[in-house]
């Protein structure tokens, strides 16, 4: 066991990483998922590590979409279960129409069950996707498996931390895709009709609050909210955010160490 010194300036982040590493040992997360988490961390750092105004508005719109949906499904992979099982369970409790389906890029025997177990331990009653029987067109190998009563029939699919192939296949299948992806230029963020360029735990918590708040809104108000954002504009806003943050960090950097380097 490695001790993380409390004096480390990124102590909290290191503890989270250590937690993910432990979940990999249990088979919930795969090594590729750890690398993906690292890429997300880099983008979150560049976005300022908090939900910015446009991202908050996008999440409000996503809540309205989910409330308007006939058959909404939340797709969960290993990283989602490892990072946010409690938040997934809380959202599903707040929105009884939402089905939760395990979907793995790296599907190995038993792993879907491990991921489902992680969700059940957090209090989720029903988890789809452990033994899926239907196929989503256009996805090679194991990645095309979906649940016949879940994603196959869904009208709105919330896909956090998903790969581009799957997001594109879902859109081609006629689904309205809400993605959660910290890289505003990823294929997932480009394919999704509603890309939430923000960190997963923050998004799910805010989504739950909004679902509860909007629950009694008339459908017309929900429709207005759902249409209040636009994919390309949301991605552009995230890029502006990153550019501004880079400039701010660069200014800070110069101020801190005026002539240090030689």
42 sits near its own copies (criterion: CB under 8 A): yes
Kindly state whether residue 253 participates in binding its own copies, applying the rule CB under 8 A.
yes
- By CB under 8 A, the residues from 184 to 213 that bind its own copies are 185, 187, 190, 193-194
With binding defined as CB under 8 A, does residue 113 bind its own copies?
A: no
Q: How far is the CB of 248 from its own copies (least distance, A)?
A: 10
Is 38 one of the binding residues for its own copies (CB under 8 A)? Answer: yes
**Binding to its own copies by residue 250, rule CB under 8 A?**
yes
Nearer to its own copies, 174 or 232 (CB): 232
Asked if 57 touches its own copies (CB under 8 A), the answer is no
**Beta bridge partners of residue 177, listed in sequence order:** 157
Q: Is 24:18 a contact under the CB 8 Å cutoff?
A: no
Residue with smaller CB distance to its own copies, 99 or 166: 166
* Distance, CA of 21 to CA of 229 (rounded, Å): 36
Is 149 a binder of its own copies (CB under 8 A)? no
- Residue 137 interacts with its own copies (CB under 8 A): yes or no: no
Q: Which stretches of the chain are assigned E, i.e. beta strand?
A: 72-76, 99-102, 134-135, 145-146, 156-160, 176-180, 194-196
Q: Does 235 engage in binding with its own copies (CB under 8 A)?
A: yes
Q: How many CB atoms lie within 10 A of CB 13?
A: 15
β-pairing, 99-102 vs 145-146, is: unpaired
Does the protein bind its own copies through residue 174 (CB under 8 A)? no
- Tell me the DSSP string of 116-154: HHHHHHTT----B-SS--EE-TT--GGGGEE-TTTGGG-
Of residues 58, 57, 92, 63, the one with CA closest to residue 75: 92
The secondary structure of residue 174, as a DSSP letter, is T
* CA dihedral of residues 92, 156, 150, 142 (deg, nearest 10): -110
- Told to check if 70 binds its own copies by CB under 8 A, we report no
The answer to the question of residue 110 lying near its own copies (CB under 8 A) is no
Tokens of residue 92, six digits: 């599903």
The answer to whether 81 and 119 have CB atoms below 8 angstroms apart is yes
- Applying CB under 8 A, among 34, 56, 153, 201 the residue interacting with its own copies is 34
Q: Whose Cβ is closer to its own copies: residue 67's or residue 194's?
A: 194
Question: Footprint of its own copies on this chain (CB under 8 A)?
Answer: 2-3, 5, 7-9, 14, 17-18, 20-21, 24, 30-32, 34-43, 106-108, 140-141, 164-165, 183, 185, 187, 190, 193-194, 227, 230-236, 239, 242-243, 246-247, 249-250, 253-254, 256-257, 259-262
């Amino acid at each position: 066991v490695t001790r993380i010194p409390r004096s480390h300036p990124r102590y909290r982040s290191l503890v989270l990483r250590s937690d993910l590493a432990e979940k990999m040992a249990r088979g919930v997360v795969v090594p590729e998922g750890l690398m993906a988490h690292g890429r997300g961390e880099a983008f979150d750092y560049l976005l300022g590590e908090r939900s910015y105004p446009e991202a908050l508005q996008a999440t409000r719109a996503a809540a309205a979409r989910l409330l308007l949906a006939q058959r909404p499904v939340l797709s969960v992979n290993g990283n989602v279960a490892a990072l946010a099982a409690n938040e997934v369970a809380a959202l599903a409790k707040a929105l009884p129409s939402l089905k939760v389906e395990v979907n793995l890029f790296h599907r190995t025997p038993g792993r879907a069950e491990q991921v489902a177990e992680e969700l059940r331990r957090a209090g989720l009653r029903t988890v789809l996707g452990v033994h899926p029987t239907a196929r989503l067109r256009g996805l090679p190998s194991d990645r095309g498996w979906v649940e016949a009563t879940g994603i196959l029939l869904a009208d709105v699919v919330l896909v956090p931390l998903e790969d581009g192939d799957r997001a594109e296949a879902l859109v081609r299948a006629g689904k309205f895709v809400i993605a959660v992806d910290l890289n505003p230029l990823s294929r997932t963020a480009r394919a999704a009709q509603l890309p939430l360029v923000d960190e997963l735990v923050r998004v799910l918590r805010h989504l739950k609050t909004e679902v509860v708040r909007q629950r009694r809104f008339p459908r017309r108000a929900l429709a207005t909210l759902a249409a209040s954002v636009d994919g390309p504009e949301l991605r552009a806003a995230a890029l502006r955010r990153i550019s501004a943050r880079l400039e701010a960090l660069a200014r800070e950097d110069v101020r801190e160490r005026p002539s240090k380097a030689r």
